[in-house]
A = this chain, B = another copy of it.
Amino acid sequence: MKIIFSNEIVNRAAAYALRQAIFVEERGIDANVEFDKKDTDQRIYGVLFLEPNFPIATLRLEPQKNRVIRFGRICTRKEYRGQGFGQKLLEAAEQWALENGMISGEIHGELTAQVFYEKCGYQVTDGPYYEDGAPVVKMAKKLK
């Protein structure tokens, strides 16, 4: 298992492939909503590879103002959910954020994932409200 944070094409391709399979094809989110202006060549994605060419979880690093970072588009391949991979990836992303000067993590989590993010140390700060067609809550965690 290896977790990589990078904007290299291999990482971006892995992230897009997971999101196409999970958000677009499994969950039915329109690809024009799922993929947006934040998905550029420069964007850094976190990808958890179970084996070198086999990515199973991803998230998007979205630095905000005031040393806040949002972790977006978090998803895990269907067959590998409930096994702690999402949490491992999120913890690694928090570590990456700390090393890159961030002090607070933010997630716009779907209501159905609220308990999972609470387990990861996030607390609801706002919502629920609708975003991209799904009810989400804004959650935050102090990183240091």
Contacts and interface: CB of A to CB of B under 8 A. Distances in A.
Contacts of A12: 16
A34 B20 CA distance: 18
Copies of this chain in the oligomer? 2
A32 interface: yes
Most chain B CB within a 10 A radius of its CB, from A13, A19, A39, A40: A13
B20 A39 contact: no
A3 to B, nearest CB: 15
Interface stretch (A23-31, A96-104, A116-124): A23-31
A112 interface: no
Contact of A54 (B10, B25, B41, B52): B25
Q: Which 10 A-B pairs have the closest CB atoms?
A: A17-B20, A13-B16, A17-B17, A9-B35, A10-B31, A41-B41, A16-B16, A9-B39, A31-B53, A24-B53
